[in-house]
A and B are shown apart, each in its own frame.
Chain A
């Protein structure tokens, strides 16, 4: 098991997924914040502020995991050095900057709520830097040394994770806050009713966002599988490629064949990824949109969102583990 976890690069699985969750969550929060500038609403503002509380802890856990991948974690700071040519250095710069911006964003929400303009600018900047962080994360894997990863689908998959898990994480936190609020208030209190209306609107927005996110993830996964399976079929049709005796550019097919075999050997992970990372957010998106629109119970919406977050997170972790496993040394 320990060896399998090591091969699946568990530290990088957790690191990449959690940073992507944070980026997706900031997109949702910064967008809501921008809307608030147009139509101020105290209850909505409270929800958005509460949502900002998840950014720093989630990203911090991700960063902590990233250092466990290093052989000499105490020297990690050195990795900033080679930004002119190394995507790894660029990733660390981008992630550091992103972390600084979300920390500042959270501080402004909680300790300087009146500085709305500054906060919104930081939020918008953070959203852009977050997108850039995901691009740098993906570029690390676009290397000819590992043909299984060297494909545009890597970028799409990373964005797919942010687009599904980010909104889900924010919605789950909001649902939990609302149910806490409801259980603490007495009958006749107007607070929960107002909050419920805001939560309903938020679910109605999250629904289509989840659907769109799962389409992005699905496109990435389909492209990745056809990259691997297409390469594997080409390897079997090329003399020598399956026996590791291919020549020059043909050796790429040998690598893809190996990647495809790893996917086939770990097919339970693939099924988890398809059903939980793509299927669950898609179904949940449709369910939220219809339920919240037709006056369905907020409690059941909240339960669905919480369960959906757990399952989708599991699906993403499984899919990312499979991503690392399939990018094995092949020569």
Chain B
């Protein structure tokens, strides 16, 4: 069986706090305008069941990576475990991959004249650790591992997500669990169990 590592995103659990984004930026000391992981927030559905949903994305380590196919200097490689790695030393800064990747993952850094992107923290993964973003997620919305395992174990693990560009083009390894529909009060995500006595207020539909 071929291996393909990738992320799983549970959009129900994600509260859009951007801790993942910050942890990645901090760990790799990225310049201000470069974000290897990005959290996008938008509206879904219609009033009165409209939802505010958050979509956290880094590289999808695609099975058919458009970045790699288009790069004229072969700066991209796909490892045996499925991670797609970009080599800044080989890059000439033509920025073609910033066009070919449908998910806007590779980003150009004018100061260094090259592109960079999420490499799945392969150095950590090789030591048996999880990527920084996954380690930092407060709600457990982000996980990382074998795509097939996500498909077998998660509440839901589908290829498409609201706002996510057509996955048929590059076959991303990222899988999603969709936000559950329903009125906002029932969707409050609690990081810690509510303090005793708060139960009744929540039951009565009070939201703070």
CA distance A76 to B91 in the complex (A): 10
* Known A72-B92, A79-B72: A248·B42 in contact at CB below 8 Å: no
Which of chain B's residues 155-182 have a Cβ closer than 8 Å to chain A? 160-169
Would B71 and A86 count as touching, CB distance under 8 A?
Answer: yes
Residues of A within 8 A of B44 (CB): 240, 243, 245
Q: Which residue of B lies closest to A87 (CB)?
A: B70
In angstroms, how far is the closest chain A Cβ from the Cβ of B150?
A: 19
Per a CB cutoff under 8 Å, which of A76, A140, A143, A146 touches B92?
A76
The tally of residues in A whose CB lies under 8 Å from a CB in B reads 37
Would A71 and B104 count as touching, CB distance under 8 A?
Answer: no
Residues of B within 8 A of A143 (CB): 66, 70, 99-100
In angstroms, how far is the closest chain B Cβ from the Cβ of A305?
A: 37
Would A145 and B53 count as touching, CB distance under 8 A?
Answer: no
Would A72 and B72 count as touching, CB distance under 8 A?
Answer: no
Q: Which residue of B lies closest to A83 (CB)?
A: B72
Q: Which residue of A lies closest to B114 (CB)?
A: A71
Residues of A within 8 A of B202 (CB): none
CA distance A73 to B93 in the complex (A): 8
Does B118 have its Cβ within 8 Å of any Cβ on chain A?
no
In angstroms, how far is the closest chain A Cβ from the Cβ of B184?
A: 16
In angstroms, how far is the closest chain B Cβ from the Cβ of A323?
A: 13
CA distance A71 to B73 in the complex (A): 13
In angstroms, how far is the closest chain B Cβ from the Cβ of A293?
A: 47
Does B96 have its Cβ within 8 Å of any Cβ on chain A?
yes
Residues of A within 8 A of B99 (CB): 143, 145-146, 327
Residues of A within 8 A of B113 (CB): 70-72
The tally of residues in B whose CB lies under 8 Å from a CB in A reads 44
Residues of A within 8 A of B112 (CB): 71
Residues of B within 8 A of A327 (CB): 99
List 13 A–B pairs whose Cβ atoms lie within 8 Å, in order of A's numbering: A70-B92, A71-B112, A72-B113, A72-B114, A78-B90, A85-B69, A86-B71, A87-B70, A88-B94, A240-B162, A248-B168, A249-B166, A249-B168
Q: Considering residues A69, A146, A247, which has the most beta carbons from chain B within 10 angstroms of its beta carbon?
A: A247
Residues of B within 8 A of A72 (CB): 91-93, 113-114
Does B186 have its Cβ within 8 Å of any Cβ on chain A?
no
Would B96 and A140 count as touching, CB distance under 8 A?
Answer: yes
Does B136 have its Cβ within 8 Å of any Cβ on chain A?
no
Residues of A within 8 A of B73 (CB): 75, 78-79, 81-82
Would A251 and B93 count as touching, CB distance under 8 A?
Answer: no
Known A71-B94, A86-B96, A247-B161; 12 more pairs at CB < 8 Å: A71-B114, A72-B92, A72-B113, A75-B73, A81-B73, A82-B73, A86-B72, A88-B71, A144-B169, A244-B40, A248-B164, A331-B163
Per a CB cutoff under 8 Å, which of B110, B165, B168 touches A331?
B165
In angstroms, how far is the closest chain A Cβ from the Cβ of B98?
A: 7
Does A252 have its Cβ within 8 Å of any Cβ on chain B?
yes
Does A89 have its Cβ within 8 Å of any Cβ on chain B?
yes
Chain A interface SS verdict (over half):
loop
Does B14 have its Cβ within 8 Å of any Cβ on chain A?
no
Does B81 have its Cβ within 8 Å of any Cβ on chain A?
no
Does A246 have its Cβ within 8 Å of any Cβ on chain B?
yes
Does B103 have its Cβ within 8 Å of any Cβ on chain A?
yes
Does B108 have its Cβ within 8 Å of any Cβ on chain A?
yes
Residues of B within 8 A of A92 (CB): 72
Would A81 and B72 count as touching, CB distance under 8 A?
Answer: yes
CA distance A80 to B71 in the complex (A): 10
Which of chain B's residues 63-107 have a Cβ closer than 8 Å to chain A? 66, 69-74, 90-96, 98-104
CA distance A53 to B179 in the complex (A): 65
In angstroms, how far is the closest chain A Cβ from the Cβ of B178?
A: 10
Q: Considering residues B43, B92, B103, B108, which has the most beta carbons from chain A within 10 angstroms of its beta carbon?
A: B92
In angstroms, how far is the closest chain B Cβ from the Cβ of A91?
A: 9
Does A329 have its Cβ within 8 Å of any Cβ on chain B?
yes
* Known A86-B72, A87-B70: A145·B102 in contact at CB below 8 Å: yes
List the 9 closest pairs (A to B, CB-CB), nearest first. Answer: A71-B93, A71-B113, A79-B72, A88-B72, A89-B72, A144-B169, A145-B102, A78-B73, A75-B92
CA distance A78 to B114 in the complex (A): 14
